[in-house]
Amino acid sequence: MISKKIRSFFIPAILTLIVILGVVGIRSLLRTKIAVRTATVTRQDLGSTVSTNGKVEPIQGFQAHAAAPGAISHLYVTVGQKVAAGTLLLSMDSSSAISHLQTARSTLATAQASAHDLQQGGSQDERIDIRSNLDRARAQLDQASHDMNAIQELQSHGAASASEVAAAQLRLQNAQNSFNALNQRSTARYSSTDRQRTAAQLSDGKASVVAAEKVLQDAVIRAPFAGTVYALPVRQYDYVQAGDNLVSLADLNRVQVRAYFDEPEIGKLAIGQPVKVTWDAKENRAWHGHIVQVPTTIITYGTRNVGESVIAIDDATGDLLPSTNVVVTVTTQQRSNVLTIPREALRTEGIQNYVFRIVKGKLVRTKVSVGVVNLTLVEILGGLSERDTVVLNALSNVDLIDGLAVEPAPQVQE
């Protein structure tokens, strides 16, 4: 067992030795030049970007859909063909549409005839029959009235009994009732329900004719404007259902991209910001445009919460096809002729940004103010001057500290 007295002697001695060795090691380290990678503070243009995915869509586009089931009769164009406004694109078999139109017109004619008869008080035969019956009833009423007057005259002279007078009165009343009924029928034959039903039939008939004419018209499809046929999913004699896509046309020199930005990046976007668009199918080609609409709400896109932004393409030449998936890179900030350093040289402690400068062969920890930061570069607002040399990292496993002697390795060219 080591006595407490011995322990009290050796422990401070060991601690002192450790401190001495540490100081000696640091001094030795400071005397030894450590190889480091460096970069020079330079002036250049600097931008901050945000990238995401998007889909191309035409600004002026046209898609024709089948108005009714039927077969494709003729195709007059091919995919990729440029056409003028009014060019015949395709036609469908119209025999069924013609038949439906004829049926609709026949139904409308029947409804129009019913409406005319209602307005005139019945058909011509019915009106002739009613007038004839009314004339007969009027004659019978006149005769019954004459007979009644004659019987009453005879009764006043004692030549007719009371029963004969009553019988004459009954005949007169019956004639009057018949005449009244026929007269009412001639002037108010139809009820309000009859009029409503006839009006509804007439309205339905007109709508059916318009719909049938539209189906027949849509059986022949023409280009509404000059453009390029970029999709033709049908072939001649194919049978299609109502609503099936038949042909797609667009002005491929006027396209836009609908881009989907993740929620944290939406606040960086603004109308007019420049945009670069690339497409994997054409690796050596890039298109350029600008934001024309920033996100106004958050939607769910797959597993992401995103905002939709619309980007106008300024240099489309017909080679960026609708519905293609593209990569969108927006320059959210742009600086010209600013001091920059590689992002690798920037260090952070708490809220303080700093770098290590090389001054007379030693490191000097220097506080800096930064502006725009992108994936590779940092804008320096204060703390450094042009042509200052900053350290990226040591080539050996050594921590960089203030006052460390260093030897620059060949600089990285940014």
DSSP sequence for 223-289: -SSSEEEEE----TT-EE-TT-EEEEEE-TTSEEEEEEEEGGGGGG--TT-EEEEEETTEEEEEEEE
| Average pLDDT of span 275-279 | 96
Q: Which of 187, 214, 241 is the last residue of a domain?
A: 214
Q: Establish if 2 belongs to a structural domain.
A: no
CA dihedral 355, 359, 362, 368 (to 10 degrees): -10
Residues 331 and 341 occupy one common structural domain: no
Q: Which of 336, 367, 399 is the last residue of a domain?
A: 336
Residues 104 and 194 occupy one common structural domain: yes
Q: Establish if 24 belongs to a structural domain.
A: no
- Domain hosting residue 226, numbered range: 63-92+219-249
Which of 2-6, 111-115, 199-203, 393-397 tops mean pLDDT?
393-397
pLDDT per position as a tens digit, 138-177 = 888 788 888 888 888 788 877 778 888 788 788 888 878 8
CATH value at residue 273: 2.40.30.170
Residues 185 and 152 occupy one common structural domain: yes
Q: Establish if 7 belongs to a structural domain.
A: no
| Average pLDDT of span 98-104 | 83
pLDDT per position as a tens digit, 35-94 = 999 999 999 999 889 999 999 999 999 999 998 888 999 999 999 999 999 999 999 887
In angstroms, the CA 364 to CA 384 distance is 12
Residue 7 pLDDT exceeds 80: no
Residue 356: per-residue pLDDT: 97
Q: Considering its fold, how many domains does the chain have in total?
A: 4
pLDDT per position as a tens digit, 42-59 = 999 998 899 999 999 999
Q: Establish if 17 belongs to a structural domain.
A: no
Rounded to 10°, the helix 162-187/124-156 angle is 160
Residues 192 and 108 occupy one common structural domain: yes
Residues 349 and 330 occupy one common structural domain: no
| Average pLDDT of span 354-365 | 96
Q: Which of 249, 270, 304 is the last residue of a domain?
A: 249
Residues 278 and 193 occupy one common structural domain: no
pLDDT per position as a tens digit, 107-135 = 888 888 777 766 766 556 666 666 777 67
In angstroms, the CA 272 to CA 290 distance is 5
Residues 42 and 78 occupy one common structural domain: no
Residues 373 and 396 occupy one common structural domain: yes
Q: Establish if 401 belongs to a structural domain.
A: yes
Residue 183: per-residue pLDDT: 65
Residues 147 and 84 occupy one common structural domain: no
Residues 151 and 162 occupy one common structural domain: yes
Mean pLDDT (the chain, rounded): 86
Residue 21: per-residue pLDDT: 64
CATH value at residue 377: 2.40.420.20
Residue 354: per-residue pLDDT: 97
Q: Establish if 297 belongs to a structural domain.
A: yes
Residue 414 pLDDT exceeds 50: no
Residues 231 and 184 occupy one common structural domain: no
In angstroms, the CA 387 to CA 152 distance is 141
| Average pLDDT of span 312-317 | 94
Residues 363 and 262 occupy one common structural domain: no
For residue 129, the cross-strand partners are: none
